């Protein structure tokens, strides 16, 4: 295989990355894809309010879904579902 494994290279680059930096990097690229300003604000807001306080300083490689969803799953199920998807996007 020429050029190596791009997925393995991406994982290797993220090994020492903190979640807060991954969010900033992802949002810089992702937010321009949305035509609707409301969606841009929702993405930034949910990640900032619910994920950043818990996950911000953590290494991307150490994060589990339970780290953020457990506290809000029973009270804000819809928000937790959306947040899980957004975290998965940031980590992928």
At 84 the pLDDT is: 87
Bridge partners for 59 per DSSP: 18
Task: Confirm if 56 and 18 have CB atoms less than 8 A apart.
Answer: yes
Domain assignment present for residue 22? The answer is: yes
Q: Which whole-number Å values give the CA distances from 41 to 26, 36, 38, 45, 89, in the listed order?
A: 14, 9, 5, 6, 16
Is 1 inside any structural domain?
A: no
Phi, psi of 42 (to 5 degrees): -65, -45
Residue range 15-67, pLDDT digits in tens: 788 999 999 988 988 888 888 899 889 999 999 998 888 888 999 888 876 77
Structural domain including 55 reads 6-91
Q: Name residue 18's beta-bridge partners.
A: 59
**Both tokens assigned to 90:** 């940031």
> Residue 3: pLDDT above 80?
no
Q: How many domains does the chain have?
A: 1
Q: What is the CATH number of the domain that holds 59?
A: 1.10.150.130
Cβ atoms 16, 59 nearer than 8 A = yes
Residue 10 included in any domain: yes
């Amino acid at each position: 295989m020429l050029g190596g494994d791009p997925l393995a290279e991406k994982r290797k680059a993220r090994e020492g990355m903190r979640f807060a930096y991954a969010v900033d990097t992802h949002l810089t690229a992702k937010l321009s894809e949305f035509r609707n300003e409301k969606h841009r604000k929702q993405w930034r807001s949910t990640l900032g309010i619910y994920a950043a306080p818990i996950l911000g300083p953590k290494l991307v490689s150490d994060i589990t879904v339970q780290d953020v969803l457990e506290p809000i799953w029973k009270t804000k199920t819809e928000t937790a579902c959306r947040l899980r998807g957004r975290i998965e996007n940031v980590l992928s």
